[in-house]
Amino acid sequence: MKVSRLKFSKLCKKCLLNKESNEFGKKLSTKDGLNNWCLNCKREYDRIYYLENKEKMNSINESHRVKNKDIRHEYHVNRYAQNKEHFSKLNVINRVKHLSKRKKYRKEYDKTENGKQQYIKDNNKRRELKKSLDNNYNKEDIKYTFKLFNNKCFNCLSTINLEIDHHKPLSG
């Protein structure tokens, strides 16, 4: 049965209010093709049901995720491939948006013992990398790398005191 797109008034069986047909969800088994409850009542019912049956709903959702793992993975890979430019813009926007939070977290982390050890480790890696880059990178390579990142640091988006190690990842 095809749902009619004509607007008409319908009584919600839950809140007993007359509402327009576009305020009801689809339900093909009914005569008019619309649910008996309006969207707001159905949403509220679903929310309460979920809260009362969290474990059951979570296990159903988890089993669905496990069953469809390959399909979901393929979908996300294809979606990313088709929208690479969009996702790269989002990544930059989010990096800028959360920069202050990351800096604040990093300052707090650097004060801890693990943070101090990590700082020393990262600093040593940076020095080693810079020593090895000075021999292998010529001025043209450095200019090309800076141009690739629009003369901004990839991590902090700074444009002052740029060094080549700002662009070369230190992980590994």
The rounded distance, in Å, linking the Cα atoms of 149 and 167 is 8
What contacts 150, CB < 8 A, 6 or more positions away? none
User: Per-residue pLDDT tens for 39-90?
Assistant: 999 999 999 999 999 999 999 999 999 999 999 999 999 999 999 999 989 9
Residue 18 pLDDT more than 80? yes
Q: Which residues of 75-110 are buried (b: 16+ CB within 10 A; e: fewer)?
A: eeeeeeeeeeeeeeeeeeeeeeeeeeeeeeeeeeee
Q: Of all residues in the chain, what percent carry a pLDDT higher than 70?
A: 86
What mean pLDDT do residues 86-106 have?
A: 89
Cα torsion angle, 56, 57, 58, 60, sign: positive
φ/ψ of residue 37, rounded to 5: -105, 145
What's residue 63's pLDDT? 96
Contacts 24+ apart (CB under 8 A), 15-19: 15/40, 15/41
Residue 1 pLDDT more than 50? no
What contacts 2, CB < 8 A, 6 or more positions away? 33
What's residue 119's pLDDT? 86
**CA-based nearest residue to 19, from 5, 36, 31, 33:** 36
What's residue 165's pLDDT? 60
User: Per-residue pLDDT tens for 108-137?
Assistant: 988 999 988 888 888 888 777 777 765 666
What mean pLDDT do residues 136-164 have?
A: 75
The rounded distance, in Å, linking the Cα atoms of 21 and 11 is 9
What's residue 110's pLDDT? 87
What contacts 170, CB < 8 A, 6 or more positions away? 122, 125, 126, 129
Query: What is the residue extent of each domain of the chain?
Result: 9-65, 98-166
